[in-house]
Amino acid sequence: MSVTAAQGFRASGVTAGLKPSGRPDVAVVVNDGPQHAAAGVFTTNRVAAAPVRLSRAALADGRAAAVVLNSGGANAATGAAGLEDARRTVEHTAAALSVDPADVVVCSTGLIGERLAMPLLLEGVSAAAGSLSADGGGDAAVAIMTTDTVPKQALATGEGHVIGGMAKGAGMLAPGLATMLCVLTTDALLPSAVLDAALREAVRTTFDRADSDGCMSTNDTVVLLSSGASGATPDPGEFTELLRGVCADLARQLIGDAEGASHEIAIRVVGASTEAAAEAVARAVSRSNLFKAAVFGQDPNWGRVISAVGTVPEALAPFDADALDVSFNGVQVCRASGVGEDRSLVDLGAREVRVEIDLHAGSAEAIVWTNDLTHDYVHENSAYST
Amino acid sequence: MSVTAAQGFRASGVTAGLKPSGRPDVAVVVNDGPQHAAAGVFTTNRVAAAPVRLSRAALADGRAAAVVLNSGGANAATGAAGLEDARRTVEHTAAALSVDPADVVVCSTGLIGERLAMPLLLEGVSAAAGSLSADGGGDAAVAIMTTDTVPKQALATGEGHVIGGMAKGAGMLAPGLATMLCVLTTDALLPSAVLDAALREAVRTTFDRADSDGCMSTNDTVVLLSSGASGATPDPGEFTELLRGVCADLARQLIGDAEGASHEIAIRVVGASTEAAAEAVARAVSRSNLFKAAVFGQDPNWGRVISAVGTVPEALAPFDADALDVSFNGVQVCRASGVGEDRSLVDLGAREVRVEIDLHAGSAEAIVWTNDLTHDYVHENSAYST
């Protein structure tokens, strides 16, 4: 149920003092091999944080021996000095673990625009390197939390191998990766090219479709490490599906713990001409503040849904604007773009809300997960600098 | 200061009973000529309301003699029956005013997905037609309000002619027109082709850059009527600038009265390669809920600004992600994508906030206006169905 569930991995989480709260803030995950294959997916934000720039380069050769992560500071928008800080963190980690600095991935999360407290961080890395254990995954998952209220971990078991993972992220959740850090580990014996393809496909339909508040972060990183320690070499397709399951589980946990949210909303678009069309429509709805505020108010406001659907360009998603059906939790409140079943039949009291939109334009579909827009979201994000 | 400021126009506003509040809800604006040239701009939302569909057709020939508007119901997502309701409204108005139904523009605003109370509306149209006056512009401006707290009117005086206008809109404010109805009148003697070009250009840089909450409506309509009663034929370029001033004034009033907002935010992007690039960047920032919530909390959070800037694709807006400057109310809190002046120097206590972003990639610029994300916004839009 963690990054140490797969054979060949150790992890730890310690308190370095980067967070004013005094909570754990430095984690290390080590791949003890025998192989050190790896793959990564990063934010597409052009204002990428220093650790993202270094880690992208480190993973270019498909190898990684360790991941060092800190909360309590994003090391983003910190210029050349921030890049140097990230480099020092990598070198310090490599020395403590006796691995090549080129094989260390670094991740940071927290406030943008502030330098990291380097002496504290490096001491923390030393402490984390000294307390690595084969059951340290849980500690690591706690140490990467920011405004998360619970740690997020997942596990899936394949034939003779397992995939484990941890993730953090509670605000600035959007596609092109939700704002999040995620480390996935497996003891399957697969080359980095297979890991890379599996990771991209798994992320595409999971993390990339968790769109809590439409805001894309500077630090998003998903890393997959393979130790090969099980000796099992699964079929790439089966491995991809297993990995997708772990990513979906973690993405769902992120949406479930999104800052200030009172509802988790699955927007499923069916009857689309292509999957891309379905995704575009679902994403447009997921970004409508009016729709999100309505769900907070437990109002099955289908007018706001079809207003959002109507903003998607025809070139992206062909459909007849007079033929849209919308249901909330199974009640079809909108039929053929007009009034359908009685909206009072819809109960939005439960935390999970299912909105389904039928475009009647094909057979493709996609689901985007989002959250409602609440007083707590405004409160957390007006009172808390990130 | 209203739609009746220009010679050749009469207007009225009455209470038909469409609104539960009992406030005025039907307005009529009549062009008494001598000419009846007109132009219109409409929502690009594919789920266009019935009145938008009819009015688009009515204005295709560049002629209009009257506009009939109602609040208390959007007549959107009402299917064939809603289209028939809009048609009956047009015919009833035409008969009451003795004009051709093909020359009547119809606008509705209010709840989506509900039929209009036609007997009340038609009675209201009769009453409005019977109370038209050359100083009825103020009454008309009141009758088109929904959640607006104040009526919006504007006036500009050119050489020998004037342009007056009224608008409504307080939520669902976004580009491709803010959610709004706007009627503009002029006594300048200009052909409809000139009116059309002037209106499109004026709207492009005013209403289309008021992006309160990113949500595009189904009913947005801006109509310009010319009576030619002044006999003056201004230079088209000068007329366009005068019209732009009236539209900018009204757009500013809309942002100033946006639902639940406590700040009006001008996001000015300079140093862009093209105006389109500047607009794309400004709009990305205007749609960041994290940025908007930070302004509500009076937090000059430049990290959230550059995070939003970084989401704009390079093909749309080329810039060096390490060279961004950001200032809040003149204090340059971010320099070269890193820490700049002390953020404590920024005072966001006043209602108007100026954010300037320098891309250092050219000399083009654009301003997009938006609002902050507040508890009142969430409250109004979770408790009130629109």
pLDDT range class, residue A384, cuts 50, 70, 90: low
**What CA–CA distance (Å, rounded) separates A178 from A218?**
10
Give the SS3 label for residue B159.
Answer: coil
Q: Are B214 and A114 a contacting pair at CB < 8 A?
A: no
> Mean pLDDT across chain A, nearest whole number?
92
Give the DSSP letter string of B29-60: EEE--S--EEEEEE---SS--HHHHHHHHHGG
The pLDDT value recorded for residue B178 is 42
Q: Average pLDDT of A45-65?
A: 94
Contact status of A382 with chain B (Cβ, < 8 Å): yes
Q: What is the ipTM of this complex?
A: 0.83
pLDDT range class, residue A200, cuts 50, 70, 90: very high
**What CA–CA distance (Å, rounded) separates B250 from B164?**
10
Contact status of B303 with chain A (Cβ, < 8 Å): yes
Q: Phi, psi (5° rounding) for residue A375?
A: -60, -40
Chain A nearest-CA distance from B382, in A, is 4
Give the tokens for residue A350: 């439960």
A 10 A CB-CB count for A158 gives 20
Element (H, E) at B90: helix B79-97
**Closest Cβ–Cβ partner in B82, B304, B382 for A299:** B382
Q: Phi, psi (5° rounding) for residue B302?
A: -70, -20
List beta partners, residue A264: A352, A371
**Could you tell me the CA-to-CA distances from A335 to A323, A327, A360 in Å, in that order?**
7, 9, 11
- Are B367 and B244 contacting, i.e. CB atoms less than 8 angstroms apart? no
Share of chain A above pLDDT 70, in %: 97
Longest CA span, chain B = 67
**What CA–CA distance (Å, rounded) separates B159 from B234?**
7
The pLDDT value recorded for residue B180 is 83
- What is the set of domains in chain A, with CATH numbers? 9-256 (3.60.70.12), 264-383 (3.10.20.340)
The pLDDT value recorded for residue A36 is 97
- Are B62 and B98 contacting, i.e. CB atoms less than 8 angstroms apart? no
- Are A179 and A173 contacting, i.e. CB atoms less than 8 angstroms apart? yes
- Are A338 and A324 contacting, i.e. CB atoms less than 8 angstroms apart? no
Catalytic residues of B: 179
Contact status of A379 with chain B (Cβ, < 8 Å): yes
Q: Are A382 and B297 a contacting pair at CB < 8 A?
A: yes
Active site residue A179: yes
pLDDT in tens, A244-299: 999 999 988 988 888 788 999 999 999 999 999 999 999 999 989 889 999 999 99
List beta partners, residue A364: A272
> Mean pLDDT across chain B, nearest whole number?
92
Contact status of A301 with chain B (Cβ, < 8 Å): yes
**Closest Cβ–Cβ partner in B113, B310, B382 for A296:** B382
Q: Is the pLDDT of residue A348 over 70?
A: yes
Residue A382 with chain B: CB contacts under 8 Å: 293-294, 296-297, 299, 373
- Are B183 and B143 contacting, i.e. CB atoms less than 8 angstroms apart? no
Q: Are strands A264-272 and A352-358 parallel, antiparallel or unpaired?
A: parallel
The pLDDT value recorded for residue A175 is 40
* Cβ-proximal residues to A84 (8 Å cutoff; 6+ apart), any chain: none
Chain A nearest-CA distance from B109, in A, is 13
Length of chain B: 386
User: To probe the interface with B, which of A307, A342, A343 has the most B CB atoms within 10 Å?
Assistant: A307
Phi/psi zone of residue A231: left (φ > 0), alpha (ψ -120 to 50 degrees), beta? left
Burial zone of B21 (CB within 10 Å; 0-12 exposed, 13-18 middle, 19+ buried): exposed
Q: Are B290 and A213 a contacting pair at CB < 8 A?
A: yes
Residue B78 with chain A: CB contacts under 8 Å: 338-339
User: By C-alpha distance, which of B377, B366, B4, B32 is closest to B154?
Assistant: B4
Question: Angle B71-B73-B78 (CA atoms, 0-180°, nearest 5)?
Answer: 145
Longest CA span, chain A = 67
**Could you tell me the CA-to-CA distances from A374 to A384, B142, B174, B219, B378 in Å, in that order?**
15, 31, 21, 27, 6
Its sign, for the CA torsion B321, B325, B327, B333, is positive
Question: Angle A299-A301-A306 (CA atoms, 0-180°, nearest 5)?
Answer: 160
Nearest CA in chain A to B74: A303
Q: Phi, psi (5° rounding) for residue B168?
A: -140, 155
**What CA–CA distance (Å, rounded) separates A355 from A330?**
8
The pLDDT value recorded for residue B166 is 93
A105-133 exposure pattern, b = at least 16 Cβ within 10 A, e = fewer: bbbbbbbbbbebbeebbbbbbbbbbeebe
H helix runs in chain A, sequence order: 50-58, 79-97, 118-130, 137-143, 192-204, 236-256, 275-286, 289-296, 302-309, 375-383
The pLDDT value recorded for residue A113 is 86
pLDDT range class, residue A179, cuts 50, 70, 90: low
**What CA–CA distance (Å, rounded) separates B285 from B373?**
13
Number of H helices and E strands in chain B, helices first, is 10, 15
Q: Are strands B264-272 and B352-358 parallel, antiparallel or unpaired?
A: parallel
* A residues 253-292 closer than 8 Å to B (CB): 287-290
The catalytically annotated residue of A15, A147, A179, A240 is A179
Contact status of A83 with chain B (Cβ, < 8 Å): no
Residue A173 with chain B: CB contacts under 8 Å: none
Nearest CA in chain B to A384: B294
Identity at A212, one-letter amino acid code: S
Length of chain A: 386
* Cβ-proximal residues to B186 (8 Å cutoff; 6+ apart), any chain: B6, B161, B162, B163, B164, B224, B225, B226, B227, B239, B243
List beta partners, residue B153: B166
Q: At what angle do helices A289-296 and A302-309 cross, to 10 degrees?
A: 160
The pLDDT value recorded for residue A148 is 87
Low-confidence ranges of chain B (pLDDT < 70): 170-179, 384-386
User: By C-alpha distance, which of A12, A5, A27, A3 is closest to A144?
Assistant: A27
Contact status of B370 with chain A (Cβ, < 8 Å): no
B317-333 exposure pattern, b = at least 16 Cβ within 10 A, e = fewer: bebebbebbbbbbebbb
**Closest Cβ–Cβ partner in B302, B322, B378 for A378:** B378
- Are B239 and B187 contacting, i.e. CB atoms less than 8 angstroms apart? no
Its sign, for the CA torsion A333, B172, B366, B183, is positive
Chain A nearest-CA distance from B68, in A, is 23
Burial zone of B361 (CB within 10 Å; 0-12 exposed, 13-18 middle, 19+ buried): buried
Q: At what angle do helices B275-286 and B302-309 cross, to 10 degrees?
A: 130
pLDDT range class, residue A172, cuts 50, 70, 90: very low
Sheet of B152-157: strands edge to edge? B37-42, B221-226, B181-186, B162-168, B152-157
Its sign, for the CA torsion A193, A198, A204, A207, is negative
Q: Is the pLDDT of residue A215 over 80?
A: no
* B residues 156-215 closer than 8 Å to A (CB): 171-172, 176, 213-215
